[in-house]
Chain A
C-alpha cells in the first residue's frame, strides 16, 4: 500500500486541479473510504452514493487540505464519515428504515490502517479502556456507526440528558488521558 506521503502529495496535486492525481488518489483510498461509508450506512447503494459525494468534496476541498493540519487519511476519512452520517440522518429523518445489508469485506483491514501511526492508535485504545466499558462503547458507536444521542440513550436505556452528560464526561476524561 502507499505511504502516507504519497497520499499527501496526491491531495496537493488534486488541489491544483490535477485529474490524473485525482484518479490515483481514488484508486489508492476509495476502498478504505467505501469501507467507512458501508460501516456507517450498512447499505451498499447508499454507501456508493456517499462515496461519490465524498470524492466530489475531495475534489472541491483539496486546495484547502493543508489548512487544518490533519494527516491525509484522517482528512479523507473525516470527509467520508461526515458524508455518511449526513446520509444516515437524512434516511432516519424519513419514515422507512432500509434493510441492513452486511457486506463481506474483500480486503484485510491492515494496509491503510498503517497510514495512521500505530502509537496514536495504541494511545486511543488505552484511553478508551480507562473509561467504563459502556461509556467507551458509546464513543465507538457514535464514531463508527453514527449513533445519535437518542439512539445511544435507547441502547443504554438512560434518559437522553443523562446520556449526553455521560458522553461529555467521557470525552473530557478521554482528552485528559490523550493529553498525558
Chain B
C-alpha cells in the first residue's frame, strides 16, 4: 500500500471512529494506535470539529432539575448539605439563571419603626426584579417581618414562603404571603433555630398554598439568610 493510500485509509478510519461506526475490536485497535500517533489524533480532532455543525440543528431541551441534583450528589458527596439541598431544590436552568442571591442594602430599607433590632435579614429576589421581598427576623420574638417591595402573585395564585434550613432534607413552609405588601409571621421555635445559615425562597402556588407540603410551582425568588 502506498503512503497516499495509507493516509486515505486513516482519514476514512478516523471519520468512522468519530461517527462511532467501528466495531469494538476495530475501535480498540484504533485507540491503541491513536495513543502513540499525534497525526491520528489530529485527524480525529478535525473530524470532530468538522462534523460538529451537524448538531446545530438539534434544539436545546432543558433537562429536569433532578439531573443536576443527582450529578451533584454523585460528584460532590462531601459537599455541605445545605448547599447541595439548596442547589438541588432551586436548580433547573431557567429558575437558577433567574435567581440572584445576595443581601443588599437591607438594613436601611427595612421598616425602621420596629423596636427590636433584627438578628437575620434576607433579600428574597428574582434577578429581573419582578419579585423582591425583604425579610428581617427578630430572634427575641421569633418574628419574621416581610416587606414585598416589588411583584405580586399571579392572578388566581399565591406566593408561599419557604425556609431551606442548613442541612435540611426539604424546604419547610413558613406560610402563604398575604396580598398586603407587609406582613409579620410568627416562626415556630423549632424553625426559628434553623434560620442561621439557611435561605428563604418564594414559590408560585395554588390558592391556600402548596397542597403537598413541598413547593409545587416555580421557585420565583430566593435569598440567603445573613446576619443583620
Contact = CB atoms under 8 A, between A and B. Distances in A.
B149 interface: no
A172 B6 CA distance: 12
Interface in B32-76: 41, 44-45, 48-64, 66-68, 70-71, 74-76
A23 B15 contact: no
Contacts of B12: 168-169, 171-172
A78 B52 contact: yes
Contacts of B214: none
Contact of A51 (B44, B51, B63, B87): B63
Nearest to B51: A143
B54 A26 contact: no
Interface in A1-46: 19, 22-23, 26-27, 30-32, 34-36, 38-39
A131 interface: no
Contacts of A22: 75
B127 to A, nearest CB: 13
Contacts of A162: none
Contacts of A82: 20
Query: Do most interface residues of chain A lie in helix, strand or loop, or is the interface mixed?
Result: helix
Given A30-B93, A70-B48, A107-B59, A19 B79 contact: yes
Contacts of B76: 19
B179 to A, nearest CB: 32
A105 B71 contact: no
B189 interface: no
Interface in A38-58: 38-39, 47-48, 51-52, 55-56
Given A19-B79, A172-B12, A175-B15, A31 B52 contact: no
Given A124-B53, A142-B21, A31 B71 contact: no
A178 interface: yes
Contacts of B8: 172
A92 interface: no
B19 interface: yes
Query: Chain B: interface secondary structure?
Result: helix
Given A26-B68, A26-B71, A32-B60, A81 B45 contact: no
B62 A107 contact: yes
Contact of A168 (B16, B41, B71): B16
B150 interface: no
Interface in B155-170: none
Contacts of B68: 23, 26, 30
Contacts of A144: 54-55, 58
B42 to A, nearest CB: 9
B55 to A, nearest CB: 5
Given A56-B75, A70-B45, A108-B59, A167 B16 contact: yes
A19 B44 CA distance: 30
B16 A77 contact: no
A112 B56 CA distance: 8
B213 to A, nearest CB: 26
A59 B11 CA distance: 30
B96 A27 contact: yes
Contacts of B62: 30-31, 34, 106-107
17 contacts: A26-B71, A27-B93, A32-B58, A39-B58, A70-B45, A70-B48, A73-B52, A74-B48, A82-B20, A107-B61, A107-B62, A111-B60, A124-B50, A124-B54, A143-B55, A168-B15, A168-B16
